[in-house]
Amino acid sequence: MHWPKNMILRQSLQILWRTPLHEVLLWRSRWAEGRRRCYSTALSERLRERFAFKKATHSIAQLYLDPEISTELRLASLPVEQKVVVLHGWIDSAPRKLSKRLTFATLRGAQFDFVTSNGSSAVGLNGDSSEDLAGKNTIQLVQMHPENIKEDDYHSLRRMKQETPVCVEGTVGIHKGTDGRYEITIVKITALNDTMNFASQVRETKQWDPKDRYLQLRTPALQRALALRSRVASLVRTEFSELGFTEIETPLLFRSTPEGAREFLVPSRTNAGKMYALPQSPQQYKQLLMAGGVHRYYQIAKCFRDEDLRADRQPEFTQVDLEMAFSSAADVQAVVERVLTRVWRDVRGVHLEMPFKRLRYADAMSLYGIDKPDLRGGLELIDLSAFATSTRHSNYPVFEILKYRPSGPSDAPTLAGAPDGYPTLRSPLMYKIDLAKEPAEAWLKAAASEFKLKFHSGTSDVGAVAAVIMQAYNIQDGDILFACTRQQVPFENPTPLGRQRLHLLHGKVKSDEIAPLWVVDFPLFTPVERQEVVDGHIEFDYDSLMSTHHPFTMPVLSDESLGAVLDVASSAPDTHTQLDACTVLGQHYDIVINGVELGGGSARIHDSMLQRLILAEIMKVRGVLRDPEAEQPENPFTHLLTALSMGCPPHAGLAVGFDRLCAMLYGSESIRDVVAFPKTQSGADPLVGSPSEVRADVLLSYHMQLADKK
Ligand code: ASP
């Protein structure tokens, strides 16, 4: 019966009118209590399930390794008692209704085990393709629903959004139509939290904004990267510990020192006007540890450099840092070879031959035009200094060529583009030998005019010189020659031909080959680059020198190097040109793998007088004086110089870029792939909003104030 509204109202008022007031109030409070209880029962039940969920019995991968399950499945045609497993994970793909009462969805497991394709190992990271791994980390869910599912039933798969975290209890069966993949028939599924639609939308579009980094981290690719990174760290620790190293943490609040890179400063609230600096590396602390009697030190250390972020650099990064007392460069290199060999073997199943190759810096530059050559792919440069010298720019006299033999008519190489920041740098001359069109020496004539070549040994017959060169280096019709010039000791790095070689080899080298190399005997000092390019040549200021590695690197012990550095450092400033210092070699070594500089180190100067001379007379560090008696209070290296003079033993060390090492093992060009929360190109982390502004009153408590914007 349908009562008109005012009738209901009238009858209700009549009942109320006849009822004593206290009873009305009692009803009212009971009704409110009932509502409250009903609401709170639902909420508390839901909360309870969100927090008191069952422990997982397996990860998805472990289901495949459980012999009980596989036996049960083999017998599944018989009515066996099925085992109920509990899995944790996320709804990976949106649930699909197959009928009124049947729903399917995919569960992505909470635990990424990275089982090898044959299911034999629960932690095999070696060589698995991400498809294999992703495949072992998802499983089909099937739910038979009761009649009348409620809209907000958090036990109903059908109601769940993609990316809902769940606890699934169910039985395992074989998923029909797949070769042996399992599926779970749900006994009970519980949503452990709500999720916004955004989480699935962003996953579907794969447009990863840095703000959504934690959603991106859920992808198998990044889970694998994080697992790999952790595995590499634990292998490194195991190997160092077996080699008798002590892991020691050094402070992150360090002091500002002119060691090389620009630092991040941290104002001190309790020391007005004073700052800490974050360490660009633990270099000085680890040398102090050597003075402190530590025999072999290592650390997986955080480092900070406030540099302009060129491609694939991070303002904070991680190093595997080591230092060894009473040791030489060769001792350090042997340890690093062992650690890297172990890591490559255990993570990638790749055997690296020890000892690694060694190449002097001068040879790397003249053969490959770069100090971190990729040895795969050959293509060596040819130094033609024996025949001619370039007079186009006095600091770039070396004339060199690169011969390229195309693999077929479609292999038509191009010139490498200009390097970043150097649009006007000279390009190599590219010349195709085409004997049907031109005489054989045409390329040399073109190069002679481009580079103003002066031929040696009185020969003016370019044809004869070309013939000798072409015969000596087997240059044939159809070959393409690239010609250019470089400095005698090249500080332009890579040289134009080095860049051209990289360009020619790009995409052509075998990617699974690992070619480790030590580059040794670097120049101890590098002249500072002037911000100018004159007629395609970078200008250097040979009067102001930087350390090629860092100022604590020991010169090579030859008369030319150690002798020269002592001469320059100990004689009156005007009696030597700084150019002499550029020929001094340092006991500096870089570990290079496939064209990537993985790390670098050196034997250190443990003699305080030599260290003082270099800092004072060559590096011209303010506050450091040649005479220790005249010590200046602002000397930023007093602690180190003093420690060296207190019986510090000889020592040597190195640091490997841990992010780059992991990226390489992971097979990625970008370290961002192996860093959980990388910074953007501008050094920001938009996820947390760093760096952020600080209120003026907070700044004041640090004794600071922002300068007026101009
Ligand atoms: N501290 C150096 C660097 O960060 C490595 C070393 O010489 O040990 O490159």
What is the end-to-end Cα distance of the chain in Å, rounded?
Answer: 81
**Residue whose CA lies nearest to ligand 1 atom number 8:** 654
> Which of 549, 640, 659 is the pocket-test mutation for ligand 1 (most atoms within 8 Å of CB)?
549
Ligand 1 closest atom vs CA 319: 4
Distance of CA 3 from the midpoint of ligand 1 (Å): 88
Which stretches in the chain have pLDDT values below 70? Answer: 1-17, 22, 24, 29-40, 75-81, 114-135, 147-152, 311, 458, 572-580, 710
Ligand 1 closest atom vs CA 552: 7
How many CA atoms within 13 Å lie on the side-chain side of 375? Answer: 17
334-371 burial, b if ≥16 CB within 10 A, otherwise e?
A: ebbbebbbbbbebbbebebeeebeebebbebbbbbbbb
**Residue whose CA lies nearest to ligand 1 atom number 4:** 281
Distance of CA 382 from the midpoint of ligand 1 (Å): 33
Name residue 656's beta-bridge partners.
Answer: 320, 599
Q: CB within 6 Å of ligand 1 — which residues? A: 281, 283, 600-602, 653-655
Ligand 1 closest atom vs CA 654: 8
Q: Find all residues with CB under 8 Å of 709, minimum gap 6, and list them.
A: none
101, 117, 210, 205: which is closest to 162 by C-alpha?
A: 205
Distance of CA 657 from the midpoint of ligand 1 (Å): 10
Distance of CA 197 from the midpoint of ligand 1 (Å): 47
Provide the H-helix boundaries in 645-685: 658-666
Q: Which contiguous run of DSSP H or E holds residue 275?
A: strand 275-277
Is the pTM of the predicted complex or chain greater than 0.75? yes
Distance of CA 28 from the midpoint of ligand 1 (Å): 77
Distance of CA 219 from the midpoint of ligand 1 (Å): 34
Distance of CA 301 from the midpoint of ligand 1 (Å): 11
> Which of 283, 297, 327, 546 is the pocket-test mutation for ligand 1 (most atoms within 8 Å of CB)?
283
Ligand 1 closest atom vs CA 280: 4
Per-residue model confidence (pLDDT) at position 162: 92
Distance from C-alpha of 521 to C-alpha of 363, rounded to nearest angstrom: 10
Per-residue model confidence (pLDDT) at position 401: 98
- In degrees and rounded to multiples of 5, residue 614 shows phi and psi of -65, -45
Distance of CA 604 from the midpoint of ligand 1 (Å): 11
